[in-house]
Each structure stands twice: as structure tokens, then as C-alpha cells.
Amino acid sequence: MPRVVLVGNLAQLTGGVAEFHLSATSVQQLFQQLAELHPAIEPHLKEGVAVAIDGQIYQDTLFQPIAADSEVFLLPQIAGGTGTLNESRPGQRGGR
């Protein structure tokens, strides 16, 4: 199962748990499984976080595959400049 690590403040939404082993095979499944385990993180996943899979940062890619031996990092959201842009269509994002 891929190893999933929450970076920065995101772990505050999971009771301090920063590392998971989940059966997700895509970013979409990863978000669903995390949200089921820790509902408090769901709005933030919808607002957008960047996902680094085996060192490569992806943005806005729900269908990106995750391999069973992948190392996945969820990074704090930063628009634009960092490869951690998550929602590039203004007006679509949900409220805080």
C-alpha cells in the first residue's frame, strides 16, 4: 500500500496523525479514503492540496495513478508559484 504523508498544518486536521498507509490507486481514491478517516480534512482536500507522488508534484489531477509502492506527500496549498496550485479556475472553490 502507498505510504501517504501529510506535510505542514494538514496533520492538525487528523488529530496529529501525519502518516498513513492507504489502498488508494488514484488521487481521487486517496482523497476519498482520507476524508472517510478524518472528515475534518475533507474541505481542505476540496479546496485543494498538492500531491507529490514519488517526488513529482501534481496539481488538479484527480485521476493521477498511485502505485502500491508509491510515496505520496500532501502539501500545503499555495497558488501558482510552487507546483502546489490546486484550483486554477477562480470561482469554483468552496468556502472556508
Residues that bind other proteins (CB under 8 A): 5, 7-9, 12, 47, 52, 54-61, 64, 71, 73, 75-91, 93-96
Grid cell digits, residue 42? 475533507
Shortest spacing between CB 36 and other proteins, in angstroms: 23
Nearer to other proteins, 21 or 91 (CB): 91
Shortest spacing between CB 76 and other proteins, in angstroms: 6
Burial of 7 by CB count in 10 Å (0-12 exposed, 13-18 middle, 19+ buried)? middle
Task: Give the count of beta carbons closer than 10 Å to the beta carbon of residue 79.
Answer: 13
Burial of 74 by CB count in 10 Å (0-12 exposed, 13-18 middle, 19+ buried)? buried
Nearer to other proteins, 56 or 68 (CB): 56
Shortest spacing between CB 35 and other proteins, in angstroms: 19
Rg (CA), the chain: 12
Shortest spacing between CB 10 and other proteins, in angstroms: 10
